[in-house]
Amino acid sequence: MTICIIPARGGSKRIPRKNVKFFCGKPMIAWSIEAALESQCFERVIVSTDDGEIASVARQWGAEVPFIRPEILSDDYTGTIPVIAHAIEWLIKNEQSPETVCCLYATAPFVQPSDLQYARQELANDSIADYAVTVTSYAFPIQRALRLTRSGGVAMFQPEHFTTRSQDLEEAWHDAGQFYWGRAKAWSEGRALFSKYTIPIRLPRHRVQDIDTPEDWQRAEWLFKAFLTESS
């Protein structure tokens, strides 16, 4: 059995009600639910939430909310792995035995059904991998990053690379924050998401945007509208 779990707690601070706030005409979470359903990768698409309104919106857009996430897993410090492990534990107790579980974020409007399908196949083809995780490249060499000093100036994190040409520096990647495909056993055992047993699923930068602040939200809407125009 293959399951999609969409974590969506109600306590967002920097963008209140972020998961159900309208984004380009739909509640934010609706974009993730629709992509999961359209991919046809999953027997069940489940939203893990502690919030009644989010649960109601999720059901309206076709997801299941068979349980309410406990308060202990709904604070600002709870990580992704315990939330997914809790959902798997609930499924097992209710006579479901998932083999692979995809954690799909509720704030991932750029996610494409084809990306979900591709990552699923990549994980299936690698017998020793624990996860398949979306990544994208940094737009600027991280080796030449700057810090703002307490005295009001700037300093390089790695000053030895001041004169190094950008093309001679190793390309760096970061978590794209869209989804993590994983084997149920890896989730339940709390195995690290980023390791030699993780398959990178590369995404172009124009389809990746963290949405944690109002500025992020505005930029994401600009990018998304351009993406829709280009795709039409």
pLDDT digits (tens, 9 = 90+) for 132-146: 999 999 999 999 999
Q: Which two structure tokens, joined as six digits, stand for 129?
A: 């991998």
In CATH terms, 2-137+172-231 corresponds, of 1.10.1130.10, 1.10.15.40, 3.90.550.10, 1.20.140.70, to 3.90.550.10
Please compute the mean of the pLDDT values over residues 48-62 and round it to a whole number. 97
pTM for the predicted model, two decimal places: 0.95
Give, to the nearest 10 degrees, the angle between helix 28-39 and helix 52-60: 40
Task: Say how far apart CA 227 and CA 205 lie, in whole Å.
Answer: 12
Q: Which two structure tokens, joined as six digits, stand for 211?
A: 């949405």
**Mean model confidence pLDDT for the chain:** 96
The single residue listed with the structure tokens 């109601």 is 56
For the chain, the maximum distance between any two Cα atoms, rounded to a whole number of angstroms, is 60
Domain layout of the chain by residue ranges: 2-137+172-231
Task: Say how far apart CA 13 and CA 190 lie, in whole Å.
Answer: 27
Task: Say how far apart CA 146 and CA 5 lie, in whole Å.
Answer: 37
Q: Which two structure tokens, joined as six digits, stand for 166?
A: 């950008």
